[in-house]
Amino acid sequence: MKKNEQNKLIRSYAEALFDAAEKSGKAETVFSEAESFYAALTEKPEIAGYLSSPVWNDSSKKEALEKIAEERGFSAVMRSLLAVMAENGRVGLLIKVLSEFKQVYYLKKHISQVSVKTAVELTESQKNNLAAAMEKYTGNKVVVKYQIMPELLGGLLVECGSELIDDSVKGKLDRLELLMKGTI
Q: pLDDT tens-digit profile of 142-161?
A: 999 999 999 999 999 999 98
**pLDDT score of 53:** 80
The residue among 133, 135, 130 whose CA lies nearest residue 146 is 130
**pLDDT score of 183:** 64
The beta-carbon contacts of 168-173 under 8 Å, at least 24 apart in sequence, are: 168/117, 168/119, 169/119
pTM over 0.85: no
Domains present along the chain, CATH in parentheses = 3-107 (1.10.520.20), 112-181 (no CATH)
Residues with Cβ within 8 Å of 70's Cβ and at least 6 positions away in sequence, in order, are none
The beta-carbon contacts of 39-47 under 8 Å, at least 24 apart in sequence, are: 41/94, 41/95, 41/98, 42/95
Quote the CA–CA distance of 120 and 156 in Å, as a whole number. 9
**pLDDT score of 161:** 86
Quote the CA–CA distance of 60 and 152 in Å, as a whole number. 49
**pLDDT score of 56:** 80
**pLDDT score of 49:** 82
User: Which residues of 111-180 form beta strands (DSSP E)?
Assistant: 111-118, 141-148, 155-160, 163-168
Kindly give the parts of the chain with pLDDT less than 70.
183-184
**pLDDT score of 44:** 85
